[in-house]
Amino acid sequence: MKFFVDTAETDQIAELNDLGMVDGVTTNPSLILKSGRDILEVTKEIAEMVDGPVSAEVVALKADEMIAEGRKLAAIAGNIAVKVPLTWDGLKACKVLSGEGHMVNVTLCFSANQALLAAKAGATFISPFIGRLDDINLDGMELIADIRTIYDNYGFETQILAASIRTVNHAFQAAHIGADVMTAPPSVIKKMAEHPLTEQGLKTFMADWEKTGQKIL
């Protein structure tokens, strides 16, 4: 599974990138707002930091305007994935932009039917939102599983990018089902390294080591 980092904070991206934990980055208008940075400036900086796809989202609602914004964002760097919403206009923009050779991430997906349409429109990535489905008492993981089945049935090359990941259990379940990519905040990726038995075992080892009176350095 590929790990995309869901943030526009360049220091957090750099830390994980140094560990080889970054296969790409996703941003959106909310993350740009949180960063306090200019979208073109911060997107360029991120694209220079990582080798993988960097999703930058259009903010227009009409297809023609989405296409124009998408072209401008794609011109920032060769690894930009233009992010468009899963609306009819977004699908039109996806078809044009993907036809021009640009990577396209179709976002705000909440149904398998939507995912099927995105694949037909040539999406590079489809972003089903797990956490937001859980918020309304639906199982976001069922959506990931449904999309996986449909895409495998017909050999679609669109990659399933599990989004709105909020917990380490989300990360595990998405990997277990077979999502191609997950995008998660840096805090969730870091928490994947934690386990109470690891902490307990380390405390025991350190207490025993102290009793030996030895030093390695």
Residues serving a catalytic function are 83
**Burial code of 105-129, b = ≥16 C-beta within 10 A, e = fewer?**
bbbbbbebebbbbbbebbbbbbbbb
Structural contact between residues 182 and 165, judged by C-beta atoms closer than 8 angstroms: yes
Q: In the chain, count H helices and then E strands.
A: 11, 8
Query: Quick one: which of 165, 164, 162, 168 has its CA closest to 181?
Result: 162
Query: Count of CB atoms within 10 A of residue 57's CB?
Result: 25
Query: Quick one: which of 191, 189, 180 has its CA closest to 151?
Result: 180
Measured in whole angstroms, the distance separating CA 184 from the mean position of its chain's CA atoms is 6
As a whole number of angstroms, the distance between CA 124 and CA 88 comes to 17
Bridge partners, residue 66, by sequence: none
Q: Is the dihedral of CA 122, 127, 133, 139 positive or negative?
A: positive
As a whole number of angstroms, the distance between CA 28 and CA 45 comes to 15
Altogether, the residues listed in the chain come to a count of 217
